[in-house]
Amino acid sequence: MSKRIKAKPNAGSEISWQRVRALFGNPQPPADVWERQFDGFDETLHKLAQTPYDQIDFSDLWYYYHDLAYVELQPELFHYLFPVCLIDWHETLLRNQSCAHGDAEFHYGLMGGDVLHKMLTEAQRIGVGRFFHDSFLQRLDMESELGTPRCGASAYGWLARFNSLGRIMPIIADIWRTWWQLETTGRALSAVQYLSGLIYFDGENPVCDIWTTQQPAGGPDLWDHDSMIYSTGWTSENVTFLAGILNFDFVASHLHQATTKLEGHPAYRIAAQVLADLPARQDLVEQRTAELPKLLEDHRAERWSV
């Protein structure tokens, strides 16, 4: 059974079973299951539909994530199991893991089956969007350090999830506006990480020291995602928002704000170094802030042009 993670939520933004179940009217297990499981495991799907929430093995969502993408969904079954999918999304985010089980992945299922539009009311879409928003900010609030061996690929799991969200719904503006108020230490630390990706070339980023004896620190690659969506990038709404707000002035002002927020924190020295390095990198940052929305829009993006 998947390991569960418990993290203290922010006041007013609790992530809980009660919250996700309420979005769908506190559904009970469906009395009858007529949905045909995509891979032919109908009996397993029926068993999952009758399992109490606290006994569900999240790895069994392999069956249902395939169904999200490929089959006609039974509304009663969807209302019962989609809250499980949302809690899986939250818990994998906290663990810096993709929301996938085997070859079945949540974001891909949502896009492939146009689930958010076909299966949710407008009120439910708003509620799910708020859930993603609050869960993501809770994950940022867990950030506690910079420049340690944690800065391998998994250290930027929150960033990969942010970019996966950008592929499935127009939510980036809401998350961005809350994040960049930089009200918590974790949000300031993640801001320094994010902005450092615009300022440095691979091998010179002080936010992420040498994390093995052989490999220099790289990244963060600001377009990486943890979904299995490879045929499209961010939605047009998300791209338009980022293109309209991200520029050198944004980087300079928010890097200064984040560094100030970190005064007295062990990461302050590194943040101050990034801030001091910024003026000499203005041309590079201007090029990259203009290029990043295009990289996020183009699913074939692999690297900066500069």
pLDDT digits (tens, 9 = 90+) for 125-177: 999 999 999 999 999 999 998 855 444 445 688 999 999 999 999 999 999 99
Query: Is 137 part of any domain?
Result: no
**Shared domain check, 192 and 116:** no
pLDDT of residue 217: 52
Query: Is 229 part of any domain?
Result: yes
Asked if residues 179 and 241 have their Cβ atoms less than 8 Å apart, the reply is no
Asked if residues 186 and 143 have their Cβ atoms less than 8 Å apart, the reply is yes
**Shared domain check, 274 and 219:** yes
**Shared domain check, 162 and 103:** no
Query: Is 7 part of any domain?
Result: no
Mark which of 122, 151, 173 sits at the end of a domain.
122
Q: What residues make up the domain containing 270?
A: 143-306
**Shared domain check, 249 and 290:** yes
Q: How far apart are CA 142 and CA 140, in angstroms?
A: 5
**Shared domain check, 278 and 246:** yes
Q: Point out the residues of the chain with pLDDT beneath 70.
A: 1-13, 147-155, 209-219
What is the number of structural domains in the chain?
2
**Shared domain check, 162 and 299:** yes
pLDDT of residue 145: 86
Report which DSSP code applies to 257.
H
**Shared domain check, 277 and 166:** yes
Please state the pTM of the whole predicted model.
0.92
Q: How far apart are CA 36 and CA 194, in angstroms?
A: 43
Q: Where are the alpha helices (H) located in 50-74, listed in sequence order?
A: 61-70
**Shared domain check, 185 and 304:** yes
Query: Is 65 part of any domain?
Result: yes
Of 113, 289, 79, 271, nearest to 190 by C-alpha is: 271
Q: Which amino acid is at 210?
A: I
